Amino acid sequence: MTTVLSVDDVTKRFGGIVAVDGLDLAIEEGELVGLIGPNGAGKTTTLNLITGFLDPDEGTVSLNGEDVTGASPDAVSKRGIGRTFQISKPFGRLSVYENLLVPNVSCGPAEQEARIERLLEELQLEEVRENRADELSGGQKKLLELARVLMLEPDLILLDEPAAGVNPVLMDDIMDDIRRINANGTAILVIEHDMSVISELCERVVVMNAGRNIASGTFEEIRDDEKVREAYLGGT
């Protein structure tokens, strides 16, 4: 197996707060990994460090073996990383269709068109294709963000809380979509507070607390881990 993403001993401070503290994290090709941890554990900050929205104070981030520490988000995207945001960021006044034209694809216009049609169908956005993105429901916005990322056919997708604000019926669909995307060979890292989502989806789960990787294993393993219990009960 080859390693798609490797975060090595990364630290990020905001003034006095150490948001990420000597973090190690690796994702292998085709894996579906869950990243959990209490509020403020540093999960979103970790995504920002991987995708170049923040520069680490210490440590390195590598993608497919290449050091990308300090690279810009667009450069990281070009290296095959897709990402959605904890708070959806649709292009509100653009139509759903126009939203899918924004990803800077490397293929030609015909292939781009074909991808858009396929994704509109697969992610059930066909009926709202001409609607403005800010008219969509919370769940549809998540689907649109996923579709936008898939336009780029990335090797690894980072999902920041895909279940937040989504109704349970649509969430089942989104989970099926995540499984299908992963089955096609795309590695996925999913941050989620909803443990049923994590336990159903992920073959491996990483637990963060206070900026550190405190446990890693199957859902059953980390559920029975003493350090994980302590972290969730508030003691650090």
Partner 1 sequence: MTVLETLRSGIARTGDRLVEDARSRNGIVFAVLALLALLAPQLVGGYTLDLLTQLIIAILVVTSWIFIAGYFGMFSFAHAALYGIGAYATALLAGKAGVHPVLAVLLGGVVAGIFAIPIALPVLRLSGAYVGMATLAFAEIVYRLAIHFRGLTGGPTGYTGFPPLLGGSRLALYYFVFALVVVLLVVQYGLLVNRFGLVARAIREAPDAARMLGNNVPRYKLVGFVVGSAIAGVAGGLQIYTVLIISPPMIEVNRMIEFMAMGIIGGLRTIGGGIFGAVIVFGLNEGLRDLGELRLVIWGAMLILVTIYFPDGLADSSLDPRDRLRELLNRE
Report the interface residues with ligand ATP, using CB under 6 A.
14, 17, 19, 37, 39-45, 86
Burial of 22: CB neighbours in 10 Å, binned 0-12, 13-18, 19+:
middle
Minimum CB separation from partner 1 for residue 51, in Å?
6
Among 9, 55, 67, 74, binds partner 1 (CB under 8 A): 74
Residues that bind Mg ion (CB under 5 A): 43-44, 86
The listed partner (Mg ion, partner 1, ligand ATP, none) that binds 108, CB under 5 to 8 Å by sort, is partner 1
> What residues contact 37, with CB distance under 8 A and at least 6 apart?
43, 207, 208, 209, 231
> What residues contact 21, with CB distance under 8 A and at least 6 apart?
11, 42, 210, 211, 212
Stretch that binds partner 1, among 74-82, 172-180, 186-194, 209-217 (CB under 8 A): 74-82
Task: Give the separation between CA 19 and CA 209, rounded to whole angstroms.
Answer: 10
Q: Give the other-Cβ count within 10 Å of 184's Cβ.
A: 10
Among 6, 45, 46, 77, binds partner 1 (CB under 8 A): 77
Nearer to ligand ATP, 20 or 119 (CB): 20
Q: Which two tokens stand for residue 61?
A: 């981030």
Among 93, 226, 233, 234, binds partner 1 (CB under 8 A): 93
Q: Which amino acid is at 114?
A: A
Nearer to partner 1, 26 or 94 (CB): 94
User: Is there binding between residue 82 and partner 1 (CB under 8 A)?
Assistant: yes
Nearer to partner 1, 83 or 115 (CB): 83
